[in-house]
Structure 1
Amino acid sequence: MDEEELLNKMDSNHTTKIYWSLTILATIGGFLFGYDTADIGTSLDLIPYHLSAFALGYLVAGVSLGAAIGAIMAGPLTDKYGRKSILLIDALIYAIGATVSAITINANMLLIARTFIGLAVGADSAIATAYIAEYAPKNKRGSLEMLQEWMITGAQTISYIIGFLILFYLPSLAFNLDWRIILGIAAIPALIGLAYRMRMPESPRWLVVKGKFDKLKDTLSKLGIEGITDQELQKISSGIKSNKSRLTPGVKRALLVAGLWMMFQQITGINIPFYYGPYIFAPFFKGGGDLSSITAGIIATLIISTTQTIIVLFAIKYVDKIGRKGLGRIGYLGMGIFLAFGGASLLIFSGLGKVIGLIVSFIGYMIFFGLGVGGIGWTIQGEYFPTRIRGTMASILAFINWISNFVIIEVFPIWKDAIGLASVMFSFAALSIIAEIIFLFILPETKGLSVEEIVEMFEKQANKS
């Protein structure tokens, strides 16, 4: 058996229970960063510190800035030291950051804690799907990687449920203790994730590249691949010594395509309803900034979030059937239509009609983002690059994702005040249609291909260009 035969065996293996178990462990970070990026939306109107417009934007966007830093740091480290070690560190950072957020004594301490959490958010978003891509059979890789998006959206939904329940049962402590509980409770799943991630095996493809064959045999055994002899492993070892990856034209093309996708999936506004949902909706309900209107805003956001959590399950089912490009085209077009409808609703309707129109707009937008955009981004991030540099390339893409997110989230309060929410939504609609046109021409279909075949496909495309 040589390296190619081993990889083919991994790619054609049956997706047993162990594959889903490993994927859940890998995407626990997705759950944590989903919760930690949504809990601030619930808490935003409850935090008693006086914040300027810029500080308000940074309180929400600070996680994204920290994530950009964490992502770019994680890439070289995970390619050198492995995927598992960085995933363990991430879980610890989540736990510490959530705890500090809960016990903060002033605004500056809270802003620092949120940025610190972002380090884990960025690193995890850079590593998780790369790790999954390196053990997943090729015909189920998209479904397994799409679980990252479902964990993110599911956690965001749970965040709003927890926020609503805490405010419902402890309304008298809303501006004192409740927001601390909402932010701090994320430490619990982080510590659970840390404990279980210690039991994860290292990525088999990374072990092959690094020549760590003792650990490789153990990992393959857990995946149900038995009977590989020491002589076969030695043959694989000698075969990969001359296999050095570099920044080839194909890698550059893959980075361009995936980088544009990561940018557009953020600048079309996906995290505005998640981060600012209650802040956006509360003024539409009687009472303005009082607790009842805040709670109503949380409920409206919860409805929107739940929609995306459900629709991602359909994406998990069909991403390896319809494909990345097919779902992507459906996604951006639908997003553009519903964003435009939302902008028009704010201008045409009044009173309850305006609120209903806005909620319907966001629900439709979430359906199409969850079906064809969000999960596709994390999927292509993990499968486009050679194993030797997959971590580094995935971290660059995560950096692009989080910097784009930071810019949009930071400027949104100022942008909304300057031109109004309706104009902001029309802007996001236009960007969605631009994305639809761009990816119609440059996004390749990769369903059913091994990660090595995808790398080869990009090289051929680059050479033709």
Structure 2
Amino acid sequence: MSTASAPRELPPDTRGPHTSRLGVIAVVATFGGLLFGYDTGVINGALEPLSRDLGLTAVTEGLVVSSLTIGAAFGAVLGGRLSDRRGRRQTLLVLAVVFVVGTLGCVLSPTWEVLAAFRFVLGLAVGGASATVPVYLAEMAPAERRGSLVSRNEIMIVSGQFAAFVVNAMIFTVWGEVDAIWRVMLLVAVLPAIALLVGMLRVPESPRWLVRQGRHDEALAVLRKVRSDERARAEIDEVHRLAAEEAARPSERTDLSVPWVRRLILVGVGLGVFQQFTGINSVMYYGTQLLGDVGFSANAAIVANTLNGLFSVLGITAGILVINRVDRRTMLLAGFTLTTTFHLLIGLSAALLPEGPVKAWAVLVFVVAFVFCMQGTLGPLTWLILSEIFPLAIRSVAIGISVFVLWVATGVVALVFPPLIEAIGIAPTFFVFVALGLAALVFAYRCVPETRGRSLEELEAQFRTTAAGR
């Protein structure tokens, strides 16, 4: 590496009033993650009264469920482009409005066709938030705290799913016979949508995005709000240094046609696909039905399903405690190893144990363990690594492409899981997840770079230098 590109030591990230301000900003932005979680999880318990009320068949049920994931795929790309053009803050404001409109449209839908259309609209907001919130947090965070700060979004996602499971269980237990009760389940999401809209009016724009627009004084002013003065000046100097090096090398473009950028996008796409091919959303969308299939009654299944939400929250909490202390690659490989192991145990339990409570409880225990390990490792790591590996010039667009493919993979899992269970059974379906998990381990070992402990600018310089040396 040349001297000009060598990373420079930044002053330490000391605590002070700026620490609290950064924490408030993170809470506000991650309401987007809370909405992501609630809107994807609420359908799990709402399907039974929804199907009765709107007369859904197996096919139309799949369309209603997957319409959100289809919208999210397109929302990730559109949100990424809007975020690069108009800013991270402005994009989240727009998404908050879409969340409100989409939620109210779903609640008031008279037919399944209208519901599917508004779930697509809601999906645009979910996908846009999934691509924008991690970028905004990563660009606001100091390098030492980037892992835990960006992972707060994953805490809010799983907290939203847990909240959806608990709300569904409580409402279904009391008013489960009321066909239209699913509308109340969906309506709850309008509250965090309003909180996101109001909160984003009061937080600053990303300093990295401001630098990209040539608004250096504004960027420094933002950094001074969330860093000590010495650290703010050092970070802005680091950004300027990288910009000067880019200007001195006009032949080195940073766009989607550059080979090293395309390689990073393939890494991002692979991470998104393999995270979803763990089957996490087969549990989050169809957990109640899965537990019913292995022997739980309808009421017991919807209550037992809340354990998936609870252990999602516990898993991500445990993950955040170690994410800044363990290398990303080590944690990623451990995550795929654990999830693949629990897939194998679920499949063996379903195949070898006789029908009855022992089989039902064994599957529940291994599913909950899978959810805990997944959310404690791969859940936050995927979003964190995506927010770190791409250069500033195309960061949101590249994340948008990666998250688009992630949501396509989510849609594939959502569409294929129920008919696959019906066609080949629970055990063979989870053995398919085992095979995919082994492929994910090979991919993570061979392709994913280490990013812990380096500033976003240092990582960009490292990837450029590595590409130039090949």
* TM-score computed with the length of structure 1 as normaliser: 0.91
- Equivalent residue, structure 1, for 2:216: 213
1:26 aligned onto 2:29: yes
- Deviation of 1:278 (Å): 1.3
- Deviation of 1:413 (Å): 1.8
- Equivalent residue, structure 1, for 2:49: 46
- Equivalent residue, structure 2, for 1:93: 98
Structure 1 stretch 16-25 or stretch 270-279: which is displaced more? 16-25
- Deviation of 1:239 (Å): 4.2
Q: How does 1:354-365 map to 2 (within 5 A)?
A: 354-365=359-370
Change (3 A) 1:281 1:255: same
- Deviation of 1:135 (Å): 1.8
Write the distance in 2 (CA, Å) between the matches of 1:109 and 1:427.
Answer: 35
- Deviation of 1:285 (Å): 4.7
- Deviation of 1:246 (Å): 2.7
Q: How does 1:442-457 map to 2 (within 5 A)?
A: 442-457=447-462
Write the distance in 1 (CA, Å) between the matches of 2:5 and 2:198.
Answer: 34
Taking only the aligned residue pairs, the percentage that are identical comes to 30
1:386 aligned onto 2:391: yes
Q: How does 1:178-327 map to 2 (within 5 A)?
A: 178-226=181-229, 236=240, 239=244, 242=247, 245-247=254-256, 248-285=258-295, 293-327=297-331
Partner of 1:134: helix, strand, or coil?
A: helix
1:407 to 406, 412, 416: 412
Q: CA RMSD in A?
A: 2.6
Offset from partner CA, 1:119-174 (integer Å, 9 cap, x none): 0011111111111111211111111111111111111011111111112333442x
Partner of 1:242: helix, strand, or coil?
A: helix
Offset from partner CA, 1:324-371 (integer Å, 9 cap, x none): 111111111111111111111111222111211111121121122112
- Equivalent residue, structure 2, for 1:290: none
Q: Is the 8 A contact 2:49 2:177 kept in 1?
A: no
Q: Is the 8 A contact 1:249 1:463 kept in 2?
A: no
- Deviation of 1:86 (Å): 0.7
Q: Is the 8 A contact 1:330 1:368 kept in 2?
A: no
Partner of 2:140: helix, strand, or coil?
A: coil
- Deviation of 1:52 (Å): 3.3
Offset from partner CA, 1:159-208 (integer Å, 9 cap, x none): 111111112333442x22x2110011101111111101111100001101
Write the distance in 2 (CA, Å) between the matches of 1:404 and 1:105.
Answer: 30
1:342 to 346, 360, 363: 346
- Deviation of 1:224 (Å): 3.7
2:75 to 70, 93, 96: 70
Offset from partner CA, 1:259-307 (integer Å, 9 cap, x none): 1011000122010111011122234456xxxxxx333222121112211
Partner of 2:49: helix, strand, or coil?
A: coil
Q: Which runs of 5 or more residues in structure 1 are unaligned?
A: 287-292
Q: Is the 8 A contact 2:106 2:119 kept in 1?
A: yes
Write the distance in 2 (CA, Å) between the matches of 1:338 and 1:5.
Answer: 43
Write the distance in 1 (CA, Å) between the matches of 2:56 and 2:39.
Answer: 20
Q: Is the 8 A contact 2:291 2:364 kept in 1?
A: no
- Deviation of 1:218 (Å): 3.3
Number of residue pairs matched by the alignment: 452
